[in-house]
Amino acid sequence: MQQPSWMAEAWRELGQPELSGAAHNPRIVAMFDELGHPDQGDETAWCAAFVGACLERAGVTSTRSLRARSYLDWGAPTDAPEIGAIAVLSRGNDPALGHVGFLVGMTTTHVLILGGNQSNAVTVAPFERRFVLGFQMPGAQQTTRAGDHKFELALNHVLAMEGGWTDDPHDPGGPTNKGITLAVYARERGIEVTSANLAELKADLRGIPDPLVRSIYETRYWQPARCPALRPSLALMHFDAGVNHGVGAAARFLQEALGVEIDGEIGPMTLGAARTADPRLALARYAAIRRKRYRALPHFWRFGRGWLRRIDATFTAAASLIPPANDPSSTE
């Protein structure tokens, strides 16, 4: 059975421990940062931070609260929980206290929970079923996601940059419409491009419907590039890079711009650095990295001017999303 998308994020953190003494595990600290609770250490109860960060990284709006019981008022309750359901448990007799994690199994007497702050680490642990207050799954307001507006802004920019149909023999991407290459379109449909179907696929790509364009950009670029977890300004720059250079290359560009280890894996360290970086400086560094990359490409002689104009336009669009420093409603 396929597990919910947030479970991949949760399993990625398995084994992460609290650190003894004055030190704090930066991966745990990043969970607080991503939910808007900076200046927290791993001595703070962090089971809800773990759940919230995993949900948000998967593009699902969490409660963004550090209270475990906040998830009782989130999403939709379910009486038939499956793997990945959010389990809320009581802790002692204090109605304000609780524990929250992801369900990974059940017996007649216990639930198995993948959670944070379990024996001071991310572990799988058993809890008696009598302590379960409820199981929740995302409702419409969570699956719609608060980040949709951020995605729409970035998508509109990319579509403006990409334009319409092109079939330039010098373009290594091949036939393209609205930024969707023929190869990507064929993979989306589960079709292998052959000489026999090439003309038909080109005709279909020319008429690609807007909902499919949106779906491809969201599922193949926006989500894999971890854009939902980034500030709107950096998300726009990073999304444009993912589309134009590839998601893997964009991940390395982002890490280089933020000054973190370049491993192509956008995890808590990268996301934490993205949250604390000066947004305009991060954009400027990212733009410079992309210009350098473009200039190294063999087709720069033909497409270089357009590529550099795209960088300038993307930087301007992204920078316009940086709110004034004194804006209390800032999501940056």
CATH number at residue 156: 1.20.141.10
Domain-terminating residue out of 95, 113, 143: 143
Residues of the chain with pLDDT under 50: 144, 146, 326-331
In a domain, 185, yes or no: no
Amino acid at position 330, single letter: S
**Are 115 and 159 in the same domain?**
no
Q: Are residues 70 and 160 in the same domain?
A: no
- Domain membership flag for residue 80: yes
Q: How many domains does the chain have?
A: 2
- Cα angle value 229/237/175 (rounded, 5°): 115
Are residues 75 and 158 located together in one domain of the fold?
Answer: no
What is the domain range of residue 262?
147-164+218-319
- Residue 193 domain-assigned? no
Among 110, 143, 176, the domain boundary falls at: 143
Q: Are residues 128 and 239 in the same domain?
A: no
Same domain, 111 and 160: no
Are residues 133 and 155 located together in one domain of the fold?
A: no
The reply to whether 104 and 159 lie within a common domain is no
- State the Cα–Cα distance between residues 37 and 28, nearest whole angstrom: 12
Q: What is the pTM of this model?
A: 0.62
Give the whole-angstrom CA distance, residue 87 versus residue 77: 10
Of the candidates 217, 218, 245, 234, the residue with the CA atom closest to the CA atom of residue 285: 234
Whether residue 158 is found in the same domain as residue 109: no
Q: Which amino acid is at 222?
A: W
* Residue 189 counted as domain residue: no
The answer to whether position 295 is within a domain reads yes
User: Within a domain: residue 237?
Assistant: yes
Q: What pLDDT score was predicted for residue 289? A: 98
Residue 53, CB-side half-sphere exposure with 13 Å CA sphere? 29
Contacts of 136 (CB under 8 A, 6+ apart): 71, 72, 74, 75, 76, 77, 78, 85, 86, 88
Residue 133 belongs to domain with CATH number: 3.90.1720.10
Question: Look-up: residue for tokens 């058993």?
Answer: 126
